Amino acid sequence: MQRDMNLECWRIFATVARSGSISASLDALGMNAPSVSRSISALEQSIGTALFDRTSHPMTLTDNGREALATAQEMLAAHDALLARLHTNTEEMAGSIRVGVPPALLQTYLVPFFVNFSKQYPQIHLEATEYMAGLPVDFSGKTGTLDLVISYGPDPSHPNYVQIHYGSGRFIPCASPTYLERYGTPETPEDLASHIGILFTSPIRESTQTLSDGKRTVPIRFRREITFNSALSAKSATLFGAGINPGMAELHCYREIKSGALVRLLPGWVSLTEELYIYTRPELMRLKRIRVFLDAYRRAIKDLFAEQDAVLKQQCHPDELPK
């Protein structure tokens, strides 16, 4: 067999390249130095190019070697992941679930959900990671590949991904009573020009630029603005009375509206509506733990939306009521 077709030869090459020398790789490989040297030489002969520059001390990769290492590591990782999947008991409620979640959603609402899910299924290692990448969806995480990503959507650049739509999120203008007592309450979107704006922008969502009532779309202009790259920081500034937030997610402000800490402004006007999705890869849907998590998440969010809608029904313009 040609050595370039032998996955083990590529594993030996990658291990030596990462270790920095043949001698440093021997323990990890469980081989002796002559065997490692022969394997690499045979691989180089098979592909017709040198992977290491043996004139330098310590031994370094050639340009072709660096390119080969990057691809070899991807190939080996894919092979290992495939074997792991093939040997996985797909019905077992054990193993890991890595979930990427927008920080505001995670910190404000989903921590209790994750804690309760973990108590119910103690054999599942649940890992929640703050997800800020936006679209296109990126499953790479700080501690490994994510299994699920919660974000907006859909994602047309990845039609092969499983894309589960679970709701719609609207964004509305809000301010604190403290701010409104000091600066007055705007009656129209045009009135915002005499007010201070609190804006949020990130890779997940751009800052609010317009307001619409279904008939007109009006560009937003403030006297001056304060911009945050954290939705929670923008919310805190709004609660503090620093200005008007023209695009707060209803899910992130309905409790404050109910308590009176925030006031819903400009009834009938919304900044935008985003469709809410949870993403995974097709091969993971074989795993019962993934399917159970998805069902539990959708039930929890459904209950949360029901609570939200009950509160905002008293605050909304008739055209805004959930259909």
**Is 167:303 a contact under the CB 8 Å cutoff?**
no
SS3 content of the chain, % helix, strand, coil (to 5): 45, 25, 30
Assigned CATH topology for domain 95-168+275-309: D-Maltodextrin-Binding Protein; domain 2 (3.40.190)
Q: Buried (b) or exposed (e) across 245-265, using 16+ Cβ within 10 A?
A: bbbbbbbbbbebbbeeebbbb
Q: 57 exposed, middle or buried (CB, 10 Å; 0-12, 13-18, 19+)?
A: exposed
**Is 25:19 a contact under the CB 8 Å cutoff?**
yes
Second-level CATH architecture of 169-273? 3-Layer(aba) Sandwich (3.40)
| CA dihedral of 179, 184, 186, 192, whole degrees rounded to 10 | -70
**Residue boundaries of the structural domains of the chain:** 3-86, 95-168+275-309, 169-273
The CATH code of domain 3-86 reads 1.10.10.10
Q: Count the alpha carbons within 13 Å of 71 in the hemisphere toward its beta carbon.
A: 9
Q: Do domains 3-86 and 95-168+275-309 have the same CATH topology?
A: no
Rounded to two decimals, what is the model's pTM? 0.72
Q: Count the alpha carbons within 13 Å of 135 in the hemisphere toward its beta carbon.
A: 19
Tally helices (H) and strands (E) across the chain: 10, 15
Q: Which two tokens stand for residue 284?
A: 């993971």
Q: What is the pLDDT along the chain (323 residues), one digit of tens a residue?
A: 466 678 889 989 999 998 888 988 998 888 899 999 999 999 999 999 999 998 877 789 999 999 999 999 888 888 887 777 676 778 889 999 999 999 999 998 999 999 999 999 999 999 999 999 889 999 987 777 899 999 999 999 999 999 999 999 999 999 999 999 999 999 999 999 999 999 999 988 888 999 999 999 999 999 999 999 999 999 999 999 999 999 999 999 999 999 999 999 999 999 989 999 999 999 899 999 999 999 999 999 999 999 999 998 876 555 544 44
